[in-house]
Amino acid sequence: MRSVRNLYLIVSAVVAVSLLAGGLAQWLNSGTEEGRRFAGYMQRVPVASACCIVGAVGVIWLGWYWLKLAGAITSMAKRLKQEKLHKINFNERIQDRDTDEIKPRDEARVKLNHNALVDELSEVIDERLGDYSNIIGRLEKQINDLQIQIQLTQRQKGHIEAIIYGIHDAVIVIDEFDRLLMANEAAGKLFNFNFESAQHRRIGELIHEGKSEFTDFLRHTRQSKAQPTRKEIEFSEDGEPKTFDCIVSCIYDENRQVCGVVAVLHDITREKQIQQTKNDFVNHVCHELKTPLASINAYSEMLTDGEAKDAQTRKEFYSVIRSQAKRLNGLIEDILNISRIESGLIKVDKGPVSLTILIEEQLQMIKSYAEEKNICLKDIGQSRVVFDRVYGDKDMISQVIVNLLSNAIKYTPSGGSVKIETEVDETADIARLSVTDTGIGIPENEIEHIFDKFYRVSTNKKQAEGTGLGLNLVKQIIEKVHDGRVFVRSKPGQGSTFGFELPLATRNVVESLPTAGRAQLR
């Protein structure tokens, strides 16, 4: 390498001297006094001419040499790409060159060294290119993986958004500064804001007074960094008081710092009402069951303790025990029937049923009770031709008729009358049955509750015993099982009319029935 450098220096020096001499000749011919005098001196010596000739030859040679070297490098680089050359110990060669004494080399040797260097450089470049190619390959793979990951994440985000926006519960997400990040439609409706315009606004500005318990709960959960916490919160929605089961969870960043809070509000108003109704029902049942039981217990204890002094009193006590036991049984039966109807577990055997024929059957059964109370029973529809067929369960409708008749007799004083009648409204396609008594009637303010479970008219309690379930059972059978309608009209002291309407069993219904069904036609 050093010998090549020395060669370059020699050639360059020759060229420089030649150019200097050339320059000097030019100066001599420039017309100045000193130049002319020096030129005269120089003309006697042919040095300048020789220098110019040597300089020109040197420039030509140097140009030719560099052109040739460039061509060699280009062709070598091409050749190295096509075939793998044998390995040259680059370091060893470099060491050898460093220790060698710079000696003059001939042109072929210089060319060989340059070619070897180019080879080694090309190999290094090739290896580096290979490395870069591997790195680029890995990067491309990573980019592909990342793109797939981004697609998956976007799809998951879409799923989560679809879930959040699709669920009925209100969902709100806020950041660590209480600003709204996300809210679904239910939340917007509940808190009366539009998410698009409300995004990034502080939750305190969006949720107004009356609902501050909720915002306080959010802040408290975020500040205390609590685990998912639950609270029942009550506030009004569209003017109606509602109860929400509110679950609030903190959102953590990669450093386990709370960076937001997510709140889910589930409307449990209906559940609370059902729970309350259930509790009321259990309390009512408990009270109604314990009342006859209390009588049975007290009277039997009195008999045991000999408190009934004479046979008449003892007979009276036994009678009370028996009637209360019967009342208890009736109560249990009614509760079970209502429960079965409400739960849909009762077996319903529907078919075309004639109301007139059912009335005849039930009047026979209840006749003795009416006679016992000296009440006149009138069947207005008795002579009617059987056109009042309804599509229903015979046993259930019989139960309804007997409940209405026994109620009418129960609350009608001795000497009164109870009439039962049916009519068919072909225009409305319904049959109507009504039971009218001349009894004590119902106060106007209590009529709306008369079909409620366990409801008994306060002023009529003395008149007769009852469970408060009979009319509720009538309502359940007519409206829930048969899609009919119950009605009541009453005036205190003048009597009451209870009845129901059921859809007629039309010709189509009867004809579409299987043979076995038609056989049930009574």
Partner 1 sequence: MSKKRVLIVDDEIHIVHVVAIKLRNNDYEVISADNGAEAFELARSEKPDIIVTDFQMPVMTGLELVEKIRQCDVTKDIPVIMLTARSFAVEDQQKEDLQISQCLSKPFSPKELLEDIEDILYHRAVVNHQV
Interface residue list for partner 1 (CB under 8 A): 283, 286-287, 290-291, 293-299, 301-302, 305, 307-309, 313, 320, 324, 456, 458-459, 461-462
Nearer to partner 1, 94 or 286 (CB): 286
DSSP symbol at 462 = T
DSSP symbol at 115 = H
Cα–Cα distance measured from residue 497 to residue 487, given in angstroms and rounded to the nearest whole number:
8
SS3 content of the chain, % helix, strand, coil (to 5): 60, 20, 25
Nearer to partner 1, 156 or 459 (CB): 459
Minimum separation from the CB atom of position 463 to partner 1 (A):
11
Nearer to partner 1, 190 or 321 (CB): 321
| 57-83 burial: b if 16+ Cβ within 10 Å, else e | ebeeeeeebeeeeeeebeebeeebeee
Strand-by-strand arrangement of the 495-503 sheet: 376-379, 417-425, 430-437, 495-503, 485-491
Nearer to partner 1, 45 or 311 (CB): 311
Nearer to partner 1, 77 or 308 (CB): 308
Nearer to partner 1, 296 or 478 (CB): 296
User: Which 3 state secondary structure label does DSSP give 171?
Assistant: strand
DSSP symbol at 167 = S
Residue whose C-alpha is closest to residue 39's, from 26, 51, 54: 26
Nearer to partner 1, 138 or 287 (CB): 287
409 CB neighbour count, 10 Å cutoff:
22
Minimum separation from the CB atom of position 350 to partner 1 (A):
39
Cα–Cα distance measured from residue 473 to residue 339, given in angstroms and rounded to the nearest whole number:
10
**Is 352 in contact with 521 (CB distance < 8 Å)?**
yes
Cα–Cα distance measured from residue 169 to residue 415, given in angstroms and rounded to the nearest whole number:
62
Nearer to partner 1, 267 or 446 (CB): 446
**Is 282 in contact with 200 (CB distance < 8 Å)?**
no
User: Which 3 state secondary structure label does DSSP give 113?
Assistant: helix
Strand-by-strand arrangement of the 229-237 sheet: 180-183, 170-175, 258-267, 240-252, 229-237
The residue type at 149: Q
Residues found in the chain: 522
Minimum separation from the CB atom of position 472 to partner 1 (A):
18
Minimum separation from the CB atom of position 296 to partner 1 (A):
7
Minimum separation from the CB atom of position 392 to partner 1 (A):
35
Q: Which long-range contacts (CB under 8 A, 24 or more apart) does 206-213 make?
A: 206/180, 210/235, 210/236, 211/235
Nearer to partner 1, 458 or 515 (CB): 458
